[in-house]
Amino acid sequence: MGKLWDKIRGIREKRRPFCTAIVAAAGRSERMNGENKLFMDLNGAPVLMRTLCAIDQAALVDEIIVATREDLLLDVADLCSRAALRKPIRVVKGGASRMESVLAAATEADQRAELLAVHDGARPLIRPEEIDKLIRRGESTFAVAPAVPLADTVKVVDEALRVISTPDRGSMLSVRTPQVFQADILKAALKSALDAGVELTDDCAAVERLGKEVYLIQGDPENIKITTPLDITIAAAILAQRGREQR
């Protein structure tokens, strides 16, 4: 009986959807005082390297594609080499917008890819197990993303910063990455939005625009995005605490 179950598990593993992780790394780091946040040191390693190493440790990711600016192609390729990743990884030229960059990477994905997991290069605190959890959920949905409750009150304002309304934050969540999609759906959604000239900063929004259902799961509050110098300080403290907990 034991051998039978081993065989069944083996069959299930072989049927697991091929998943390509896309890392969006073509931003301008406009709030980092002139520094590129992806190459900033975070407790002994560049931000982007920590992101890639976490993805590399996810059991359900089969390959990694990094989309970056043309002027950073060589620097990112060198960083990938120094990271000594186990999974196949490629660096491709991104576009002028996030949608263009993600679509460029999606187009370069292995033809076997049924799932695409899109992650921000500036989210180095993602845990491999959370990536795997999202990929498993993505097997049965068009799109899934992690989300956390809003901690602050949100105000809707006009151009003069005059308050127009105060939405109920109880029905609102902050969406993060990685966001996992059925590959064909995401590519069609991004192309449709680009062709229509619609500007979107969230990949899920492109899928929503096609009328497809998007699901959310509880995300890790520590999975913050590095946007300002303060975020580097917070991320360093989180990593230090994780190190103490592992002792």
The residue range of the domain holding 69 is 17-245
Cα angle: 10, vertex 106, 25; to 5 degrees: 110
Tell me whether residue 113 is in a domain.
Answer: yes
Task: Tell me if 203 is assigned to some domain.
Answer: yes
Residue 146's CATH number? 3.90.550.10
**Residue 133, domain member (yes or no):** yes
Residue 180 confidence (pLDDT) above 60: yes
Residue 2 pLDDT grade (very low, low, confident, very high; cuts 50, 70, 90): low
- SS3 label, residue 178: coil
Does residue 145 register a pLDDT over 90? yes
Contact 203, 181 (CB under 8 A): yes
> SS3 of 29, please?
coil
Q: Where residue 247 falls among pLDDT bands split at 50, 70, 90?
A: confident
Q: What is the mean pLDDT of residues 93-110?
A: 96
The pLDDT mean for the chain works out to: 93
Interval 188-201: pLDDT, tens: 999 999 999 999 98
Give the angle subtended at the CA of 115 by the CAs of 211 and 79, to the nearest 5°.
120
Domain count of the fold of the chain:
1
> Phi, psi at residue 230, to the nearest 5°?
-60, -35
Tell me if 1 is assigned to some domain: no
Domain assignment present for 9: no
Confidence band (pLDDT; 50, 70, 90) for 10?
low
* Model confidence at 185: pLDDT above 90: yes
Alpha-carbon Rg for the chain, nearest whole angstrom, is 19
Judge whether 11 lies within some domain.
Answer: no
Is 56 contained in some domain? yes
Whether the predicted pLDDT of 140 surpasses 70: yes
Element (H, E) at 188: helix 183-195
| 10 belongs to a structural domain | no
Residue 13 reports pLDDT greater than 70: no
